[in-house]
Amino acid sequence: MNFENILVAEENGIGQITINRPSKLNALNMATIQELHNALESLEANENIRTIIITGEGEKAFVAGADISEFANFSVEEGAQLAAQGQELLFDFVENLKTPTIAAVNGFALGGGLELAMACHFRIASDNAKMGLPEVSLGVIPGYGGTQRLPQLIGKGRAMEMIMTAGMISAEDAFRVGLVNHVVPQAELLSFTKSLAQRIMKNSPMAISKAIKAVNANFKEGVNGYETEIRNFGKCFGTEDFKEGTTAFLEKRKAEFTGK
């Protein structure tokens, strides 16, 4: 699969997607969103891929926002369609992947860039990262899930302040409020993220996919997260991974999971 705006690599069970528009600070246009969807769909279908890392090319930016030139003249209907299509193709799609997906945030993650990072299952930031949702400074609001996921991650009050001021926060502040899980020197960002991915890959892929569903259920309107947990807990009992995990524990050996 050939891409113009992203790079895709696979190594030792880890799929890495790098947004590769450094001259535009890796800004998201619709073509890039479609390519990200296609790449993620392909990695998700690959049984050899156990974790996915999303990052940006260069040291300046993860994704510095959406490509404003693409929608500056949109109508009300076109604007709503832009948000709906983007959420379906990429942001909701990432959140609901069964494969653990980690954002390695290098540099600026603004607007759609922060929304993409927040859609990932969790985030690691380089120490020079800056994050924010500056949309109100352009006369618009976040449209790729930012008004929903930011309050879920850092609380309503802090999210309101970030969105209303259109300001950026540092990597350390992002860590302090729970927006990112770890902050590391930029030179160590990918190696640290890959080491974390490898720790995840020691566990049952089947159980992890069901855990993702159960955790996400708590944030979905009209869905009882506890019921989702009970249902997915029960489903685990019918998997080969459950048999292997419990047998290995009782036999005092390391489990070898197949993801089935």
Four-residue CA torsion sign, 15, 93, 28, 141: negative
Q: pTM for the complete prediction?
A: 0.96
Where are the chain's structural domains?
6-200, 205-250
The β-bridge relationship of strands 168-170 and 130-132 is: antiparallel
Is pLDDT above 90 for 182?
A: yes
3-state secondary structure of 28: strand
Contact 62, 106 (CB under 8 A): yes
Phi, psi of 58 (to 5 degrees): 85, 180
CATH superfamily of 6-200: 2-enoyl-CoA Hydratase; Chain A, domain 1 (3.90.226.10)
Tens of pLDDT, residue by residue over 189-248, are: 999 999 999 999 999 999 999 999 999 999 998 999 999 999 999 999 999 999 999 999
Quick count: other Cβ atoms within 10 Å of Cβ 191? 10
In the chain, pLDDT over 90 holds for what percent of residues?
A: 95
pLDDT confidence bin for 41, thresholds 50/70/90: very high
Quick count: other Cβ atoms within 10 Å of Cβ 195? 10
> What is the set of active-site residues?
115, 135
pLDDT confidence bin for 181, thresholds 50/70/90: very high
Cα separation, 113 vs 186, whole angstroms: 18
Tens of pLDDT, residue by residue over 51-97, are: 999 999 998 999 999 888 888 899 999 999 999 999 999 999 999 99
Is pLDDT above 90 for 2?
A: no
| pLDDT (mean) for 244-253 | 96
Cα separation, 213 vs 140, whole angstroms: 31
Cα separation, 43 vs 169, whole angstroms: 32
